Structure 1
C-alpha cells in the first residue's frame, strides 16, 4: 500500500491499481487532483478543512463510479446520489476498492464549551493504518501505522504524547499540520520522540511512502 500525503489532513492510499482518499478539505489546494480517479472518498467529519462539499458534489457528477463515505452530515449535505453516498457510524465495517475499512470513535475532540461538537469517525484501513480525524480516540484494535494530527484548535502536545503511548503504533505519520511552521513541526516531532520513543515521519505535500 502506498500513501501520498496532501496538505493538512488529506491522504491518498493506493493498492493494486485502486485509490481511496481521506479528508480532502478546503485547506488542501490540490484536493481536486487527489479525488480525480479515486474509487472512494472517506470523510471523518463535516468541518470544512476535512470536507469540501462543493468539490465532492462536482466529483460525484463527473465520475459515476465514485463513492463517498462519512458521518450523517456528509449524506445530508451531498444527498444519497443513488446510493453512492453512505452514512457510517462507529463499529461499521465495509470493503471498497480492495481496501477493508472499520469505523471507530464517534465525536470530535472538544475545542471549547461554546463551540458545538460534531460527529467524528476514525477509519482503520486494512487492519493496519488508522486516520483518527479530529480526535485522539484510542481504537480497541491493533494499529500498525497511525496518522497523527499535530496542529489545530483542539490539539495539545501532552495529549498527543499520551495518545501515542496508548495506541502504541509501529509507525507514525504526521497529518493536520498546517497551523505549525516548519520549526513547530520539527519541535513537535522531537518532543514526541523524547516522550514516547516513537519517531514521527514528516511528509511534504505530494510526497509518497510505501507502507
Structure 2
C-alpha cells in the first residue's frame, strides 16, 4: 500500500488496484492535480474535510471516480449539482474492486452545547487502512495502517494515545495536524507512548510513501 498525505485530513491511498482520495478539505493542498481516481470519499461536512469550492474541478478531472460521503456532506455535494453516493454505517462498498466498510456514525463531541453532525470512517481492504474522520471509532477487525487524528478542538493528546493503543495498528500515520503550531510535539508523544509492535510514521507532505 502507498499513501500520500496532502496535509491535515487528506490522504491518497493506492492499494494496488484502487486509488482513493479521502477528505480533500480546505487545509490540504496538492490534491487538485491528482488523476486516475476510483473514488473521492468524505467523512463529514466540516470545511477542513470537505472543500466544496475545489471539488467540482477535482470531479471534472476524475470523471470515472465515485463520490462517496456521509449524509451531511452528501446533501451539500448534491446541492452543488454533483452526483454523490451516501455512505451510512454498516454499508460495504466496492471501490476500484476494493471493499470499503463504512464505520462510526457520529462526529466526536466538540462541546455539549454544539449540535453534533454525522461522521463516518472508512475501513479499506478488510482492515488494511482506517480513516476515522473526526472520531475515535473502534473497528471490528484488526487494522494494519491507521490514519491517526493528531490535533483538533474535539481532541486532547492523551485521547489520541489511548485510541492508538486501542486500535494497535502495525503503522500509525498522524493526520489532522493543521490546527497545531507544532505538531511534532504530538508526533513525539505518539512515538514514545505507542503500543509494542506499532510504528508511528510521520509522512512527508505530498510524498508518495510505501507503508
**TM-score of the superposition, structure 1-length normalised?**
0.89
Q: State the 1:63 CA deviation.
A: 4.2
Q: State the 1:74 CA deviation.
A: 2.4
Q: State the 1:98 CA deviation.
A: 2.5
2:53 partner SS: helix
1:207 partner SS: coil
Q: In the aligned structure 1, how far is the partner of 2:81 from the partner of 2:48?
A: 26
Q: In the aligned structure 1, how far is the partner of 2:18 from the partner of 2:102?
A: 20
Q: How many residues get paired?
A: 208
Q: State the 1:18 CA deviation.
A: 4.0
1:47 is aligned to: 46
Q: State the 1:151 CA deviation.
A: 1.0
Q: In the aligned structure 2, how far is the partner of 1:122 from the partner of 1:89?
A: 10
For residues 199 and 76 of structure 1, do their structure 2 counterparts lie closer, same or farther at Cα, with a shift above 3 Å needed?
Answer: same
Any unmatched runs of 5+ in structure 1?
none
2:73 is aligned to: 74
Q: In the aligned structure 2, how far is the partner of 1:136 from the partner of 1:68?
A: 24
Kindly indicate which of the two structures has a greater share of residues assigned to helix: 1
RMSD: 2.1
Q: State the 1:195 CA deviation.
A: 2.6
Answering whether residue 12 of structure 2 is matched by residue 8 of structure 1, we say no
When structure 1 is superposed on structure 2, of 145-154 and 57-66 the one drifting more is 57-66
For residues 18 and 139 of structure 1, do their structure 2 counterparts lie closer, same or farther at Cα, with a shift above 3 Å needed?
Answer: closer
1:96 is aligned to: 95
Q: In the aligned structure 2, how far is the partner of 1:85 from the partner of 1:199?
A: 35
For residues 82 and 155 of structure 1, do their structure 2 counterparts lie closer, same or farther at Cα, with a shift above 3 Å needed?
Answer: closer
1:129 is aligned to: 129
